[in-house]
């Protein structure tokens, strides 16, 4: 696993791996704490419970994916959904030991491919705008911040829920990556 030969692979997450997904997310959340954003919620917190339920539903519906090493160990995951009729990246998390090694990019590319297969015109996500490893990372991968006024009710709901439960609520933003070439249209005239 050490060195340039490291090549993770992507597979479907299994519903019985929910604890592994939570552990990956908990580990990744430690990075946020280094920037003053403590994301540690009690396992009984209503936001944490709802989040885990969404990840479980994603695994059951075969729209959650894990990056694994050659021994099958989970390094990171992506959980997807459909919100406002378009694909939504509910969560992307990578263990800190495997960050900056292409695992997140591989998962994000897989999420984009999944979204394209859903015939979506765009892939949505919500994230922090002020952290150097969130908004700028997604911008490098073709996502743009979308004004809340241009978001559908489902995306606004996710933002509101996150702003109630997470630190730095004013820094939560919606982002979208177009998946169709200009001129092919999309919901609400978006391309």
Q: Which tens digit of pLDDT belongs to each residue from 105-156?
A: 999 999 999 999 998 899 999 999 999 989 999 999 999 999 999 999 999 9
Task: CATH number for 9-189: choose from 3.20.10.10, 2.60.40.10, 3.40.630.30, 3.50.50.60.
Answer: 3.40.630.30
Whats the size of the chain, residue-wise? Answer: 191
Question: What share of the chain has pLDDT > 90, as a percent?
Answer: 81
pTM metric for this prediction: 0.89
At 77 the pLDDT is 98
Parallel/antiparallel/unpaired status of strands 122-128 and 86-94: parallel
Return d(Cα 137, Cα 150) in angstroms, integer.
22
At 39 the pLDDT is 81
Return d(Cα 169, Cα 50) in angstroms, integer.
18
Return d(Cα 24, Cα 64) in angstroms, integer.
14
At 5 the pLDDT is 60
Return d(Cα 2, Cα 101) in angstroms, integer.
11
181 — pLDDT class (breaks 50, 70, 90): low
SS3 state of residue 9: strand
Say if residues 13 and 66 touch (Cβ distance below 8 Å).
yes
Q: Give the dihedral sign, CA 33/148/61/56.
A: positive
pLDDT in tens, 87-119: 999 999 999 999 999 999 999 999 999 999 998
Return d(Cα 126, Cα 84) in angstroms, integer.
14
């Amino acid at each position: 696993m050490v060195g340039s030969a490291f090549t993770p692979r992507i597979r479907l997450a299994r519903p019985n791996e929910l604890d592994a997904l939570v552990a990956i997310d908990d580990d990744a959340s430690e990075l946020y704490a280094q920037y003053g954003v403590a994301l540690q919620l009690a396992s009984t917190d209503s936001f944490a419970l709802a989040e885990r339920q969404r990840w479980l539903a994603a695994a059951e519906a075969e729209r959650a994916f894990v990056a694994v090493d050659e021994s099958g160990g989970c390094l990171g995951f992506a959980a997807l959904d459909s919100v406002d009729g378009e694909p939504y990246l509910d969560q992307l998390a990578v263990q800190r030991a495997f960050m900056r090694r292409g695992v997140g990019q591989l998962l994000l590319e897989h999420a984009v491919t999944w979204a394209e297969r859903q015939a979506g015109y765009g892939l949505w996500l919500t994230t922090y705008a002020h952290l150097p490893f969130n908004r700028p990372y997604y911008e490098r991968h073709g996502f743009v911040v979308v004004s809340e006024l241009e978001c559908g009710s489902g995306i606004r709901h996710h933002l509101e829920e996150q702003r109630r439960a997470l630190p730095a609520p004013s820094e939560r933003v919606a982002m979208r990556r177009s998946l169709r070439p200009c001129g092919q249209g999309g919901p609400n005239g978006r391309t």
